[in-house]
Amino acid sequence: MVKQAFLALEDGSIYQGCSFGAEDTSFGEVVFNTSMCGYQEMLTDPSYAGQILVLTYPLVGNYGLSEADFESREVQVRGLVVREHCPTPSHRQDTTTLDEFLKLNGIPGLAYVDTRALTRKLRSTGVMMGILGSEMKAEDALEELKTLPRHDLTDFVQGVSTKETYAWPSPSSPLYHIVVIDYGLKYNILRLLSLLGCSTTVVPATTSAEEILARNPHGILISPGPGDPTQLTYLEGTIKGILGRKPIMGICLGHQLIARALGAKTFKLKFGHRGGNHPVRELATGKIHITAQNHGYAVDADSLKGGLEVSHINLNDGTVEGLSHKELPILSIQYHPEGSPGPRDNVYLFQNFLDMVKEFS
Amino acid sequence: MSELSKILVIGSGPITIGQAAEFDYAGTQALRALREEGITSVLVNSNPATIMTDEGIADIVYIEPLTPDVLTRIIQKEKPDGILPTLGGQTGLNLAVELAEIGILDKYGVRLLGTSLETIKMAEERSQFKNLLLSIREPVPRSAIVYSVEEAEAKALDIGFPLIIRPSYTLGGSGGGMAQNPLELREMVRVGLSSSLTREVLLEESLLGWKEIEYEVIRDGADNCIIVCNMENFDPMGVHTGDSIVVAPSQTLTDKEYQMLRSASINIIRALGVEGGCNIQFALSPWAAKKDHAESYYVIEVNPRVSRSSALASKATGYPIARVATKIAVGKRLDEIGNQVTGKTTAAFEPALDYCVVKVPRFPFDKFPLGDRVIGSQMKATGEVMAIDRCFEAALQKAVRSLEIGRRPLLWEDKAWGEDISSYPLYPSDFRLWAIMAALRRGAQVVSLSLKTGIDPWFIHRMMSIVDMEQRFLSEPLTPEILREGKRLGFSDDGIATLADRLPEQVRNLRHEWSILPVYKMVDTCAGEFEAETPYFYSTYEEENEAPPLPERKAIVIGSGPIRIGQGIEFDYCSVHTAWALKRAEVKSIMINSNPETVSTDFDTSDRLYFEALDEESIRDILENETFSSAPPSIVQFGGQTAINLTDPLYRSGMPIMGSDAQTIDMAEDRELFEGFLRLQDIPQPPGGTATTIDEALKVAHTITYPVLVRPSYVLGGRAMEIVYTDSELTSYIQEALELGTKHPVLIDKYLQGKEAEVDAVSDGQGVLIPGIMEHIERAGVHSGDSMACYPPLSLTPEETEKIVDYTVMIARRLHIRGLMNVQFVIMPQSKVYVLEVNPRASRTVPFISKLTGVPLVKIAILVMLGKSLPEQGYTGGLWKVRNLWGIKAPVFSMGKLPGVDTYLSPEMKSTGEVLGVDYTFAGALAKALIASDFMLSPQSSILLSIADRDKAEALPIIRGLFSHGYMLYATRGTAEMIKDKGMEVKAVAKKLTEGYPNVVDVIQERKVDAVVNTTTGERTPLKDGFEIRRAASERRIPCFTSLDTIKVAVEALAYKERIFSVQPLRNYVEGR
């Protein structure tokens, strides 16, 4: 028999549905993503640490799950909310169902919820903390929500970053050596760098500037990751230490931290940008790019200083989507050129970064 | 780039299979977009039943044949700066290519917009297309054209087995197949070469079982590209996408596959340089990349224009592709075009769907039960329906409900299928969906069905979930939980009633008792991410309702559903005009329709759009959802038979109807009641009677004498109507009717072979306005939809006209018609006028007569319904003044695409579309109607004649006419003898295919003749004899005349000099300028 479960939100609203995945209770910031496929990539994206993910596409799990679609070692979301999960997936690569996969990973899921109503709620109220559970009363959950640590005030990077430095399999005669600082990176960044002829060394978030520079890389990539950049001031020293010393590419959280290291401010978006269809304008050319996005915070354009300039803006709400620097070799991008899930239109940015690397060395 | 101030838009012409209402939708959007940009639009189309040809959509409207000559004359006259050929289907593209190639575009400095000449040709030219794709490293299936068996054997080594063999240019697509080994290859190529008229055969890598995926891409002049939508075909490769069940977005693709094909689409549109919309079709391997399959996908086809798929994608996402493509064609960038849906963002984004869309094709086999129902690469569907829900099961079930194919819900099974699953039609046909359901009910395994059909197991699993639910309804008590789950999966009240042994009304009552009611969710292009303003909704069984009742005065417009034979685009035209008329009267319009191809389902046509099935349950649910203080009235007169049939259920459930009330409609629709009514009014009707047994039928027939017209009462667009000449034919007809188990009696009327005329009239209960009388070219006995019709009437005497007007007025008044009505008459010698039938609704000819007379029938009717009398609207009753022009409507058939279907004109409608020839002279109008419908005879060519004995005398002057115009005559024996007797030269050919060479089919296939005249007595056996002749003619795409009346006017037209007709904007004709 299907077990009842619920999602309780800070504003007192409760969404009833059926439990799937692990029979457990979890809490987190409730966010929605509008991508129509790529659920496994999302589930394993470390940027979702501490979050309960709502998928707006109603049919999830259709093609099963596969070894090839992991973006990190494990499932990163705290919970998953869907309209419907598929008990009979079909695909040549499928190994398991979504239900089994979540059970295996100890992650609770909630199904048969009016996810569109929930999305509209999050859109109008803004993202909120929530509890997803079947083991307690929804009313008690509302009480408990008041006492739980807030997402904005939590440092998730420590939890998702690699503990050990490691090298990603590289091509036989690499063109460049890139150090990737792992704040919660997605494997596809490493796959693409390798494809473009780079060897990569992934280092933990807390690695110092000196240690990084000592590896004498051709360039440094500062990865995406979860949470509010204002909680991560301890990382800014490292970034300051490498700025200008090597060509740097920052993605998402990496981009926000570069901006903060150069004195800019970041702020929280009402309900974030999460999906694979966000239009971005590249200011230098006027070109529009369709991008994969997953961020709840953005750089405040009015706070830019220290030579930083806006290079890309979001066409929907005008927020900053990319920065460049008047003098320093910096390519700083808010969205996800690595896609996975999402369009591959922006892979060229990695090439731009490597061009910058080439010019610098 | 020079400024564009005037643009010529080419329409797609008549509705045919493969080119339907979607181009009216695209064209209308495009013309509005041009208006927004301040550009003068000039439109040319031969199809009058379109919104795009309305004044007020385009600035200058030409209803003229779509030929290079006509287009040239328009270009000379209008001097447009550019030409937009991408909105008129393949017709538009082909014309643009011709104009460019004969140098007209260069000569007059007309720019080709949207797509270049090279691109258009590239997409059509197989080898060029292949080379281009290979140059940008996009894979195409391996293939080769061969001219001999030896060559085939050599090429087969490169391609590998199995491979597909397609002979080029064959009749009926015969002679192809799949070869597994060299032995089969040799045999098939040998047969294929001999059946190919060009003696060539295409060998192609087999993609059997590959998924078929489509992408809709848009690119602007600054090289910005977006994907509007991707779609996955339920039917794997091999079935034409127009005949496939299609789902959006794709359901079984991983993100990696989705993005791989997305990137390929962008790569291709960039290489082609299209500025606007483009449809790209892929084959995607469902298996792990095998060694011999280096590629996991292939590019199959590219359409560098808007298409049926782009219309579907627009409706599936809310993204108006034609509008955006048009703005791009005139130089706008994606980010300069506003998104009307959100009102805030721009067209530079990709829609995100939070629902599942299912399209199901509508096939014409209910009309053509003898047609070949196997589907493949030749499209056979006339139309399609779309349904939206939050799961596939529900969207599929709603789509099947929307098909309106009589009693064929998803529960339907063919009684002949039996218990042996292996005998089920699991091959591609219009039955396959039902056969899979039936097989699942009998325990077939999902995996084995998937292997057998090539359909992805995901889809079959979803169908299994429907079957599981059926089982629960059959075996478990009906509880709120089970009812809610059933509704979530899209079961109709009817279906649940059948399974749970209740009445549909009881299920409905239970739903109300248990508060299991649909909610309505918005199609907003962004999955709820942004606030949207689109009034575009679909039903689902969930929590939040986003469509609170509109508080203002409002009315429900019931649309006409899928395009099918007998119910075409005319009714969509009427529905759209209804919405507009309501708007002008400041009444909010709420449109309900299930057809994604149409203007009526454009979200800005009405104040609110419900994309739903047009059945009692959906309409009542919507009416309840829209009930503010009371339920809004429904308008049933404009959605064809679909809408009018809903009158009774709505009336019974106490819902108000606008215009003529339920009693009036019943009186006109029920043949028995209507006969009684006419008798009471003393209006002549053909003598007749009704019968429920064979004996009764024979008695009636003997009283009124043969020939008689037989049909079931309560007809659907002339369905199952036949002219019967003998007792034995009558007996077999009645037997068949009894077997069908219809409770309604059979009507038997005297078949009067007189002149036929019809009128559309609008009445306010007192006054009756008749904008014009239309006289048919063909005598009675040919369905009015298949007749050529002429306005003003050709041959009616003043007395006959007076009678027609008198009867019409009398019927309208005494039936208490409020709104529109269509009356059909037959006129016998001595000016005897009989009423054949009355339709208490808008008819097929409303756009035709409205456009020619300038009387806006739909608008007047709506105002009448809203309480404004004809005099208050400035109209007096009676016959409207006759315009000083001639308009001739000609039917257009799609018979070349429907093997096995007889083309003989009869009381059963067969045409799919129509064209209008309009001019100052009859000759001009006739010539244009014939040209536009492909019935124009070429001068001094040859013709095959096979005339029934009873027609020979009448045919003689026609044959003389042909002969004197230098025609080479071929004829079957009897006809040839008559011709020879009269001193004309003729070549006799064998009538039966077994009677030696050359026989009738030989001379057609070998292109010895350019037209065919074939009449029969209409009896069943002679009909069979002529069948081969007529089929051969339609497959050769040459005119085939089966009525002497049609060939008579066609021969008349032979006498016309070149340039007999004028080319003028419609307005000039109507205003007599």
The Cβ-side half-sphere exposure at B379, using a 13 Å CA radius, reads 19
Min Cα–Cα distance to chain B from A343, Å: 6
Structural tokens at position B158: 């490169």
Q: What is the pLDDT of residues A348-357, one digit of tens each?
A: 999 999 999 9
Identify the CATH number of the domain in which residue B70 sits: 3.40.50.20
Which residues make beta-bridge pairs with B791?
B887
Cβ-proximal residues to B835 (8 Å cutoff; 6+ apart), any chain: B678, B683, B684, B685, B807, B811, B823, B824, B825
Domain end call among B611, B641, B659: B659
Structural tokens at position A66: 């596969």
Domain end call among B71, B94, B113: B113
- Sign for the CA dihedral angle at B698, B701, B707, B709 comes to negative
Residue B404 Cα distances to A211, B399, B409, B569, angstroms: 72, 10, 9, 16
Domain range enclosing B29: 6-113
Number of domains in chain B: 6
Q: Which of B995, B985, B991, B984 has the alpha carbon at shortest distance from B1012?
A: B991
Cβ-proximal residues to B481 (8 Å cutoff; 6+ apart), any chain: none
- With CA atoms as reference, the chain A residue closest to B219 would be A288
Domain assignment present for residue B493? The answer is: no
pLDDT of residue B1020: 63
B942-946/B1011-1014 β-pairing: parallel
Q: Please indicate, yes or no, whether residues B604 and B684 belong to a single structural domain of this protein.
A: no
Q: Please indicate, yes or no, whether residues B180 and B222 belong to a single structural domain of this protein.
A: no
What angle is formed at CA B752 by the lines to CA B750 and CA B756, rounded to 5 degrees?
A: 135
**Are B305 and B115 within 8 A, CB to CB?**
yes
CB pair distance less than 8 Å for B224 and A287: yes
CB pair distance less than 8 Å for A92 and B334: no
pLDDT of residue B124: 75
Tell whether A310 is within 8 A of chain B (Cβ): no
Q: Please indicate, yes or no, whether residues B713 and B620 belong to a single structural domain of this protein.
A: no
Q: What is the pLDDT of residues A149-184, one digit of tens each?
A: 999 999 999 999 999 999 999 889 999 999 999 999
Instruction: Select from A277, A313, A338 the residue whose CB has the most chain B CBs within 10 Å, as the one to mutate to test that interface.
Output: A277
pLDDT of residue B805: 98
pLDDT of residue B547: 97
Q: Which of A2, A5, A88 has the alpha carbon at shortest distance from B393?
A: A88
The Cβ-side half-sphere exposure at B523, using a 13 Å CA radius, reads 29
Tell whether A63 is within 8 A of chain B (Cβ): yes
Q: Which of A73, A86, A69 has the alpha carbon at shortest distance from B257?
A: A69
The Cβ-side half-sphere exposure at B158, using a 13 Å CA radius, reads 12
CB pair distance less than 8 Å for A69 and B250: no
CA distance B121 to B682: 63
**Are A33 and A274 within 8 A, CB to CB?**
yes
Min Cα–Cα distance to chain B from A282, Å: 11
Q: For residue B346, list chain A residues with Cβ-Cβ distance below 8 A.
A: 279, 315
CA distance A308 to A258: 10
**Are B54 and B952 within 8 A, CB to CB?**
no
Among A92, A275, A286, select the one facing B352 at the smallest CB separation.
A275
Find the Cα–Cα–Cα–Cα dihedral B977, B979, B983, B986, rounded to 10°.
-90
Q: Please indicate, yes or no, whether residues B711 and B845 belong to a single structural domain of this protein.
A: yes
CA distance A273 to B526: 12
For range A246-258, the mean pLDDT: 98
Q: Is the peptide bond before B686 cis (omega within 30 degrees of 0)?
A: no
Q: Which of B229, B321, B315, B241 has the alpha carbon at shortest distance from B274?
A: B321
Active site residue A321: no
Under-70 pLDDT residues of chain B: 1-2, 169-175, 288-294, 713-719, 739-743, 1017-1023
What's the one-letter identity of residue B617?
E
**Are A189 and A337 within 8 A, CB to CB?**
no
pLDDT of residue B171: 55
Q: What is the rounded radius of gyration, in angstroms, for the C-alpha atoms of chain A?
A: 20
CB pair distance less than 8 Å for B254 and A38: yes
Identify the CATH number of the domain in which residue B801 sits: 3.30.470.20
Residue B24 Cα distances to B181, B368, B583, angstroms: 47, 26, 21
**Are B895 and B1034 within 8 A, CB to CB?**
yes
Cβ-proximal residues to B887 (8 Å cutoff; 6+ apart), any chain: B790, B791, B848, B851, B852, B916, B917, B918, B925
pLDDT of residue B1018: 63
- With CA atoms as reference, the chain B residue closest to A318 would be B345
Q: Please indicate, yes or no, whether residues B699 and B834 belong to a single structural domain of this protein.
A: yes
pLDDT of residue B290: 45
Residue B658 Cα distances to B648, B862, B875, angstroms: 13, 9, 21
pTM of the model: 0.96
**Are B578 and B585 within 8 A, CB to CB?**
no
Q: Please indicate, yes or no, whether residues B646 and B727 belong to a single structural domain of this protein.
A: no
CA distance B803 to B952: 33
Domain assignment present for residue B750? The answer is: yes
Q: What is the pLDDT of residues B777-816, one digit of tens each?
A: 999 999 999 999 999 999 999 999 999 999 999 999 999 9
Domain end call among B113, B132, B157: B113
Residue with tokens 């001009």: B924
Structural tokens at position B598: 């149409």
pLDDT of residue B716: 45
Strands in A308-314's sheet, in edge-to-edge order, are A166-168, A198-204, A176-182, A219-222, A248-251, A330-333, A320-325, A308-314, A266-282, A288-299
pLDDT of residue B984: 95
DSSP string, B67-87: -HHHHHHHHHHH--SEEE-TT
In chain A, which among 32-61 make CB contacts under 8 A with chain B?
32, 34-38, 41, 56-59
Residue A72 has pLDDT above 50, yes or no: yes
Domain assignment present for residue B181? The answer is: yes
Q: Which of B935, B932, B936, B895 has the alpha carbon at shortest distance from B912?
A: B895
CB pair distance less than 8 Å for B344 and A339: no
Domain assignment present for residue B235? The answer is: yes
CA distance B104 to B38: 26
Min Cα–Cα distance to chain A from B524, Å: 11
Which residues make beta-bridge pairs with B84?
B9
Q: Please indicate, yes or no, whether residues B188 and B224 belong to a single structural domain of this protein.
A: no
Q: Which of B539, B213, B230 has the alpha carbon at shortest distance from B401?
A: B539
Q: Looking at beta carbons, which pairs linking A170-175 to residues 24 or more positions away fall under 8 Å?
A: A170/A194, A170/A198, A170/A199, A170/A200, A171/A197, A171/A198, A171/A199, A174/A198, A174/A199, A175/A354
In chain A, which among 236-275 make CB contacts under 8 A with chain B?
271, 275
Domain assignment present for residue B135? The answer is: no
pLDDT of residue B853: 96
Packed helices B89-101 and B68-78: angle between N→C axes, nearest 10 degrees: 70
The domains of chain A, with CATH numbers, are 4-153 (3.50.30.20), 157-360 (3.40.50.880)
CB pair distance less than 8 Å for A56 and B542: no
Which residues make beta-bridge pairs with B40?
B6
Instruction: Select from B253, B255, B353, B450 the residue whose CB has the most chain A CBs within 10 Å, as the one to mutate to test that interface.
Output: B255
Min Cα–Cα distance to chain A from B353, Å: 7
DSSP state of A152: G
Residue B777 Cα distances to B231, B439, B757, B1013, angstroms: 45, 50, 9, 16
Domain assignment present for residue B1070? The answer is: no
Q: Please indicate, yes or no, whether residues B735 and B636 belong to a single structural domain of this protein.
A: no
Q: Is the peptide bond before B998 cis (omega within 30 degrees of 0)?
A: yes
CA distance B800 to A36: 65
Min Cα–Cα distance to chain A from B257, Å: 10
pLDDT of residue A174: 95
Q: Please indicate, yes or no, whether residues B714 and B837 belong to a single structural domain of this protein.
A: yes
- Sign for the CA dihedral angle at B377, B1028, B903, B720 comes to negative
Q: Please indicate, yes or no, whether residues B624 and B681 belong to a single structural domain of this protein.
A: no
- With CA atoms as reference, the chain B residue closest to A89 would be B458
Q: For residue B286, list chain A residues with Cβ-Cβ distance below 8 A.
A: 92
Domain assignment present for residue B1072? The answer is: no
Q: Please indicate, yes or no, whether residues B243 and B157 belong to a single structural domain of this protein.
A: no
Q: Which of B624, B602, B395, B601 has the alpha carbon at shortest distance from B489?
A: B395
pLDDT of residue A256: 98
Q: Please indicate, yes or no, whether residues B711 and B816 belong to a single structural domain of this protein.
A: yes
pLDDT of residue B663: 95
What's the one-letter identity of residue A158?
Q
- Among residues A41, A252, A295, A325, which one is catalytic? A252
Tell whether A67 is within 8 A of chain B (Cβ): no
Active site residue A295: no
Domain assignment present for residue B267? The answer is: yes
| Beta strand spans in A90-212 (E) | 108-111, 128-133, 166-168, 176-182, 198-204
Residue A68 has pLDDT above 70, yes or no: yes
DSSP state of B783: -
